[in-house]
Amino acid sequence: MHCACGGLYAGDGMERSVITSVHNERVKRWAELLTRKGRERQRKFLLEGVHLVEEALKAGANVEAVLYSREKGIPAELARYAAGAVSAADSASGSESDRPSHANGSLRRDMQPHVNGRASWLNKPFQANDSTRLGKPLQANDSSRPGRRSHADRSPGPDYVSAAATCAAPSVEWIAVSEAVLERCSDAQTPQGVIAVAGKPPAEAASFLLAEPGALVVAVDGVQDPGNLGAIIRSADAAGATGVVLGRGTVDLYNPKTLRATMGSLFHLPVVEGDLPQLLPQLMPDRAQIIAASPYGEESCYDVDFTRPTWLVVGSEGSGISPAVGALARNVRIPMPGRAESLNVAMAATVLLFEAVRQRCFSQK
């Protein structure tokens, strides 16, 4: 029924590949993806855990294979994706509203992916009848002012076609593997039982964010801790930000620890790389303000008008924002009446992001 070097397994009624040996050539290639060099060479990365894999499949990411425990089977949360990927009968019987399939070679409009590129429904966060957005300043007498908007209020734009939709694989290979193979392909102390192998999306220039009206963009300047970067991306997603730009010297987005810390948010908004000293000068003062979080800022963040198009710059944990980037920004501080000297960079970014949310969506000024 199976062999150590690869074979077929029909334990769930459907034939699938089985790999049990850590010496298998495919396993060796997957294990290389735990290193940045391996990810860059193969242009692939690993996603571990049910939640991350499910978010990738929902988004239509270029998932090539899903490795799951031969002993435990496919997690219940992923079963419908596995069935939909390999069974034409399941795709035909599933309703249009609940199956994550590619209809006529393309994704349904409400499931069109982003995967590190522009996602149209996320360029219009906090919509209200398609007339308001997070980036648009609202007046006190504006009858279209949204109340507390949820992510369910985000609706897809009519014209956007994601790059991921063109690179997403028409089917995903589901492979039953031994616990030893899962351990070989995981950097976690306790493997989570499911790992996806995904192709990196095509690189996209950060310049498209410059033209976004009412932008709220986070520019990350050299943050080194993968947990912090992942938390920043997650907060940007939660705040409905337009996108995140990763400057030079920033930790790899596809580092397994970064991916885990995003909790899948990298699939919800554009996360792109950019040369900040070259990119930021293109933001004309009348188009967007560049705000940098700094403990030495003379101006309080609560005195900043965040209803304007804004790029928030956060720097590395040790040295802060680089001089070249800092010279382009307006430094603001987060008031801290307590005795702590500073905030974690991810916390600081979150405070500023949600001050922008408060002003843009809830302020009665």
The dihedrals phi and psi of 261, each to the nearest 5 degrees, come to: -70, -25
Q: What is the mean pLDDT of residues 69-88?
A: 82
All structural domains of the chain with their residue ranges = 7-96+165-199, 206-362
pLDDT at 364: 65
Give the SS3 label for residue 217: strand
DSSP 110: G
3-state secondary structure of 126: coil
Helix 345-357 vs helix 226-238: crossing angle, to nearest 10: 10
The region of weakest confidence among 80-89, 113-122, 259-268 is 113-122
Give the rounded percent of residues in the chain with a pLDDT score beyond 70: 71
The mean-pLDDT minimum among 23-37, 53-67, 162-176, 212-226 falls in: 162-176
**Fold: same for 7-96+165-199 and 206-362:** no
Q: What is the mean pLDDT of the chain?
A: 78
CB count within 10 Å of CB 330 equals 15
Centroid of chain to Cα 54: 13
- pLDDT at site 286: 73
Topology of domain 206-362 in CATH is: Alpha/beta knot (3.40.1280)
* Mean pLDDT value of segment 342-358: 95
Contact between 209 and 120 under an 8 Å Cβ cutoff? The reply is no
Backbone dihedral region of 129: left (phi > 0), alpha (psi from -120 to 50 degrees) or beta?
left
φ/ψ (deg, to 5) at 45: -150, 170
Strand partners of residue 290: 311
Q: At 85, is the pLDDT very low, low, confident or very high (cuts 50, 70, 90)?
A: low
Average pLDDT over residues 139-148: 34
Rounded to an integer, the average pLDDT of 244-267 is 96
User: CB-side exposure of 364: number of CA atoms within 13 Å?
Assistant: 0
- Looking at residue 110, its pLDDT comes to 35
Is residue 98 over pLDDT 80? no
Return contacts of 337-343, CB within 8 angstroms, 24+ apart.
Answer: 341/295, 342/295
Percentage of residues of the chain with pLDDT beyond 90 = 58
Tally: H helices and E strands in the chain: 12, 15
pLDDT at 365 (0 to 100): 53
For strands 271-273 and 243-246, give the pairing: parallel
Segment among 77-91, 146-160, 345-359 with least mean pLDDT = 146-160
Residue type at 157 in one-letter notation: G
Tell me the average pLDDT across 179-190.
Answer: 92
H helical segments located in the chain: 25-32, 36-42, 50-59, 79-86, 88-93, 163-167, 179-184, 226-238, 256-262, 276-279, 323-326, 345-357
- Mean pLDDT over 107-118 rounds to 35
330-333 vs 289-293, strand pairing mode: parallel
Higher pLDDT, 271 or 164: 271
pLDDT surpasses 70 at 254: yes
- How high is the pLDDT of residue 341? 83
The residues facing 197 across adjacent strands are 46, 65
pLDDT of residue 202: 87
Q: Are 206 and 234 in contact (CB under 8 A)?
A: no
Cα 158 versus chain centre, distance: 22
CA distances from 195 to 51, 181, 237 (A): 11, 10, 23
Where residue 164 falls among pLDDT bands split at 50, 70, 90? very low
Q: Who wins on pLDDT, 284 or 271? A: 271
Between 297 and 152, residue with greater pLDDT: 297
Range with the poorest average pLDDT among 190-194, 196-200, 290-294, 360-364: 360-364
**C-alpha span between 321 and 10 (Å, rounded):** 55
The CATH class of 7-96+165-199 is alpha beta
Whether the per-residue pLDDT at 7 is higher than 70: the answer is no
- Alpha carbon 38 to chain centroid, angstroms: 21
Q: Cβ(217)–Cβ(123) under 8 Å?
A: no
19, amino acid identity: I
Q: Which residues pair with 299 in a beta bridge?
A: 332
Determine which helix (DSSP H) or strand (DSSP E) holds 67, and give its type and residue range.
Answer: strand 63-69
